[in-house]
Amino acid sequence: MTAYTAPTRDMQFVIDELAGLADVAALPTFAEQDINLELVEAVLEEAAKLAAEVLAPLNHSGDAQGARLVPDQGVIPADGFADAYRSFVAGGWNGVSSPTEYGGQGLPELVNTAAQEMWNSANMSFALCPLLNAGAIEAISQAGSATQKALYLPKMISGEWTGTMNLTESQAGSDLSAVRSRAVPEGDHYRLFGQKIFITWGEHNMTANTIHLVLARTPNAPEGVKGISLFIVPKFLVNPDGSLGARNDVHAVSIEHKLGIHASPTCVMAFGDGEGAIGELVGEENQGLAYMFIMMNAARFKVGLQGLAIGERAYQAAREYARDRVQGRPIGVRSGDRVTIIHHPDVRRMLLGMKAQNEAMRALAYVVAAHIDLAHDHPDAAIRQRHQARVDLLIPVVKGWCTEIGIEVASLGVQVHGGMGFIEETGACQHLRDSRITTIYEGTTGIQAADLAGRKLNMDKGAAMQALIADMETTVGELGQAAGDDLATIQAALSEGVKALAGATEWILNSRDPNAVMAVSVDYLMLTGYVCGGWQMARAALAAQRKLMIGADPVFHESKLITARYYAEHVLPKAGALLRSVQSGGVSILAMTEEQF
Amino acid sequence: MKILVAVKRVVDYNVKVRAKADGSGVETANVKMSMNPFDEIAIEEAVRLQEAGKAKEIVAVSLGVAACQDTIRTALAMGADRGILVETDAELQPLAVAKLLKVVVEKEQPDLIILGKQAIDDDANQTGQMLAALLGWSQGTFASKVEIGDGAINVTREVDGGLETVAIKLPAVVTSDLRLNEPRFVKLPNIMKAKKKPLAVLKPAELGVDIAPRLITLKVQEPPKRQAGIKVDTVAILVDKLRNEAHVI
């Protein structure tokens, strides 16, 4: 088992050089916080300590032990989790980017994103609890009444209570229009009846209360998506003064046995087994799915970060193992000392593949986080809208691409370990098992791809994508001006990649057959991800070259240049293959009959 | 009671230290720096005394380059009330630090000074003792427990044979050992607050102290690489090698 050390050096580089901390810090919202790189460094260093010393040591033991449901006691988290949660909230880390008005720290999403990466690298099962709470906080912030905000937000933001998201039912997974849970009006509240599944941290004893956000139908609500409403259903009813009242009629009836994230209890929640769970409406009736989508964007972004986070943890473990494990002699050497496996070209290929894709994911995700800040807080509405268009376009890419790559990186991590990677003791397989859920929950990769190639491209006839491609072309131009063999190589590869993205986008926009588009939509999403990653690595190379000219931190910046070149030579070319696949239009995919499968 | 705590910026304890190629010192360019761990313990002790109502104000002092402000900010985030940086790019040896601290102490008039027992970069273990001597104050070094009484403190010291408890009069100098306490995790809101706490910057010349080094560093080099072990056939050969090659018996 290797320890986790947060990659704060790369995080700072990305935040400062690629995501543009200065632009975010200049937003009037953050004037009072007086944000600069020194403050960000101080925050990241302290977050890194908590991640490394409190959360990371519980990752393996939490996986082995898991959470358990005990009759009459509810869900008991794995040993150490409750104490770790107390340290986490006592440090104020639950509300990094929440508004100061409700007790948050009011820092940019960009800074929170780096912290989120750390929590998830250190212990993804743990991090899921605050992640879902953040989703619930977002939903109440956006759609709740003033009374609801005042009653619930401060305690959810401090972490004194946690929040959950209750969407899925056994017949309503990716298709939420099939939700059947009922909400019956009764005086000033509703009574909820129904069963929800896959509810992450749906029940636990780490906090005094849990606030469930639940999708349900009111009587006579229209069929399908237009008839779903959103409710707040607390585990313990909350009195107007904030004190806790009676236990509500909502219970975890079982927890799932899963491939990974064993320490995160995935609950089956029963609402209204008795007289009905008391709930209050959020916003207006029948608007539930719209509210849910506001929150879902944030949650999808954070799940995308989990792909990066697991990739980083897997890389650190593989790197340490490769530096330590002695096996064989260098190629072409027949006698003498045996060497550590990091000397073998194929192991280096795997490690660099992990490192390069992690750094590309980090750059892309943090750049999107900066767009989120600018879209939320810029004083100029037109500029806000421009950033929002970029966010909307790239969230399915961050979610879909980063999680698919996260699995690939975690799998490479197992491979670097050889046989020991298949043995639980090294921890390498836990990362692979944990990563496997990330392409599924909060919308599968297929759903993300449908969102990108269907909804997002069609919404503005590809305008946001064309703007993105134009920005990439600007970078290609800058690379052309720069000196050196590395940047010339990167320029050629990025130029090819951007052409592939433009070609695939054109094909999708011109296609008249939605089935053909859907058949190749994941290829299109992956192509977009690889090229976005290549674009960010190219920007990183330009920044690293600038820094090297003034002699700043040569070890880090030279390694960045090599990594960017690796990405250009060995990862980015995949875009060309994916373009061919997109352009084939999925003829074979649609030709096969059901019986022929 | 007012407590003054000295904090030093050193190469982070996780970093593998490398000697500069020219042998003039340790490589610090592009190396992660942080607060000397023994000084973290010193700050933690001061904050605990304040939380227990036994101290009113905590002043964190650092000496060195401008970047030592980051170290002071960490101390402020842990709970110190204000900071003082004596800023200089010159090399500071323990005697110079003790002399500078003495002038700061004369201005600040603390009742108690807590320092780390040594810094993990040069391991000198001298500054606290020198400062106490220059001030003519009592000293309790290698403290693993500090109890404040009326005008005096009991300091439990880690000595070779076990624990020794001494009662010393205030004002006093205490240096912290590893087991004095376990420093807290810094809270995010306190990092934000630390930015707004006062931090004064002074220059050695203003304090009228000659900081010229008294010791000359001849050479800094990395320890020799460990050689691979060998197997010997007999005890006689072993003894011979220990005597004539390893020179240990």
With contacts defined as CB-CB under 8 Å, which chain A residues touch B195? 34, 39
Q: Which one-letter amino acid corresponds to residue A462?
A: G
Q: Using the beta-carbon criterion (under 8 Å), do A46 and B185 form an inter-chain contact?
A: yes
Cα angle for residues B58, B90, A45 (degrees, 5° grid): 50
Query: Which among B121, B116, B119, B94 has a CA at the least distance from the CA of B176?
Result: B116
Please state, in angstroms and rounded to a whole number, the distance separating the CA atoms of residues A467 and A489: 24
**Closest-CA residue of chain B to A158:** B189
Tell me, what's the pLDDT at B249?
A: 84
Q: A57-69, pLDDT tens digit by residue?
A: 999 999 999 999 9
- Residue B111 confidence class, pLDDT cut points 50, 70, 90: very high
DSSP reduced 3-state for A336: coil
Q: Using the beta-carbon criterion (under 8 Å), do A49 and B185 form an inter-chain contact?
A: yes
Q: A406-444, pLDDT tens digit by residue?
A: 999 999 999 999 999 999 999 999 999 999 999 999 999
Query: Which among A222, A137, A221, A216 has a CA at the least distance from the CA of A176?
Result: A216
Please state, in angstroms and rounded to a whole number, the distance separating the CA atoms of residues A147 and A282: 11
Backbone angles phi, psi at A519, to 5 degrees: -65, -30
Query: B19-26 long-range contacts, Cβ below 8 Å, gap at least 24?
Result: B19/B220, B19/B221, B19/B222, B20/B220, B23/B219, B23/B220, B23/B221, B24/B217, B24/B220, B25/B217, B25/B220, B26/B121, B26/B220
Give the domain extent around B24.
2-222
List the CATH number of the domain containing B67.
3.40.50.620
The widest CA-to-CA distance across chain A, in whole angstroms, is 86
Number of H helices, E strands in chain A: 21, 12
Q: A532-574, pLDDT tens digit by residue?
A: 999 999 999 999 999 999 999 999 999 999 999 999 999 999 9
Q: Give the one of B14, B188, B190 whose C-beta lies nearest to A93's C-beta.
A: B188
With contacts defined as CB-CB under 8 Å, which chain A residues touch B78? none
The C-alpha of A17 sits at a distance from chain B's nearest C-alpha, in angstroms, of: 17
Residue A54's Cβ-side half-sphere holds a number of Cα atoms within 13 Å equal to: 25
The C-alpha of A262 sits at a distance from chain B's nearest C-alpha, in angstroms, of: 27
The C-alpha of A558 sits at a distance from chain B's nearest C-alpha, in angstroms, of: 13
Average pLDDT over chain A, rounded to an integer: 96
Please state, in angstroms and rounded to a whole number, the distance separating the CA atoms of residues A234 and A271: 11
Q: Using the beta-carbon criterion (under 8 Å), do A45 and B195 form an inter-chain contact?
A: no
Residues 26-85 of B with CB under 8 A from A: 30, 32, 34, 70, 73-74, 77
The C-alpha of A321 sits at a distance from chain B's nearest C-alpha, in angstroms, of: 18
Tell me, what's the pLDDT at A411?
A: 98
Q: A485-523 burial by CB neighbour count: b if 16+ within 10 A, else e?
A: ebbebbbbbbbbbbbbbbbbbebbeebeeeebbbbbbbb
Q: Using the beta-carbon criterion (under 8 Å), do A91 and B187 form an inter-chain contact?
A: yes
**Given CA atoms A48, A52, A53, A56 in this order, what sign does their dihedral have?**
positive
Cβ neighbour number for residue A266 with a 10 Å cutoff: 22
Q: Tokens standing for A302?
A: 């954070």
Q: A212-246 burial by CB neighbour count: b if 16+ within 10 A, else e?
A: bbbbbbbeebeeeeebbbbbbbbbbbbeeeeeeee
ipTM computed for the complex:
0.87
Q: Using the beta-carbon criterion (under 8 Å), do B192 and A45 form an inter-chain contact?
A: no
Measured N-to-C along each axis, helices A381-416 and A521-549 cross at an angle, to the nearest 10 degrees, of 90
Q: What is the CA radius of gyration of chain B?
A: 21
Parallel, antiparallel or unpaired: strands A68-70 and A74-76: antiparallel
Distances (CA, A) of B183 to A352, A412, B59, B106: 37, 38, 17, 28
DSSP reduced 3-state for A22: helix
Does residue B153 lie within any of the structural domains? yes
Q: Using the beta-carbon criterion (under 8 Å), do A46 and B195 form an inter-chain contact?
A: no
Taking the model in full, what pTM does it have?
0.93
Please state, in angstroms and rounded to a whole number, the distance separating the CA atoms of residues B170 and A490: 67
Distances (CA, A) of B15 to A168, B11, B65, B120, B172: 47, 7, 20, 12, 34
Query: Which among A535, A533, A218 has a CA at the least distance from the CA of A398?
Result: A533
What residues does B237 pair with on adjacent strands? Answer: none
Q: Using the beta-carbon criterion (under 8 Å), do A91 and B195 form an inter-chain contact?
A: no
Domain count along chain B: 1
User: Is A285 tagged catalytic?
Assistant: no
Q: Please identify which residue in the block is written with the tokens 């990362």.
A: A431
pLDDT beyond 80 at A84: yes
DSSP reduced 3-state for A285: coil
Q: Tokens standing for A104?
A: 């948050």
Tell me, what's the pLDDT at A160?
A: 97
Residue partners of B166: CB distance under 8 A and separation at least 6: B140, B154, B155, B157
Tell me, what's the pLDDT at A1?
A: 64
User: Is B86 within 8 Å of B203 (Cβ atoms)?
Assistant: yes
pLDDT beyond 90 at A332: no
Does residue B152 lie within any of the structural domains? yes
Q: Give the one of A45, A91, A556 whose C-beta lies nearest to B30's C-beta.
A: A556
| A–B CB contacts, 8 A cutoff, strictly below | 50
Tell me, what's the pLDDT at A44?
A: 97
Does residue B227 lie within any of the structural domains? no
Distances (CA, A) of A551 to A149, A360, A544, A546, B24: 51, 24, 10, 9, 20
Please state, in angstroms and rounded to a whole number, the distance separating the CA atoms of residues A451 and A444: 11
- The one catalytic residue in A109, A312, A404, A442 is A442
With contacts defined as CB-CB under 8 Å, which chain A residues touch B35? none
| Entry field: residues in chain B | 249
Q: A487-503, pLDDT tens digit by residue?
A: 999 999 999 999 999 99
Please state, in angstroms and rounded to a whole number, the distance separating the CA atoms of residues A167 and A290: 13
Q: What average pLDDT score do residues B162-182 get?
A: 96
Share of chain B above pLDDT 70, in %: 100
- Residue A249 confidence class, pLDDT cut points 50, 70, 90: very high
- Residue A483 confidence class, pLDDT cut points 50, 70, 90: confident
Q: Which one-letter amino acid corresponds to residue A87?
A: S
Q: Give the one of A92, A552, A553 whose C-beta lies nearest to B187's C-beta.
A: A92
**Closest-CA residue of chain B to A94:** B188
Q: Using the beta-carbon criterion (under 8 Å), do B192 and A91 form an inter-chain contact?
A: no
Does residue B234 lie within any of the structural domains? no
- Residue A294 confidence class, pLDDT cut points 50, 70, 90: confident
pLDDT beyond 80 at B50: yes
Measured N-to-C along each axis, helices A554-566 and A345-377 cross at an angle, to the nearest 10 degrees, of 100
Please state, in angstroms and rounded to a whole number, the distance separating the CA atoms of residues B222 and A524: 53
Output DSSP code: residue B232: -
Alpha carbon A276 to its chain centroid, in Å, reads: 35
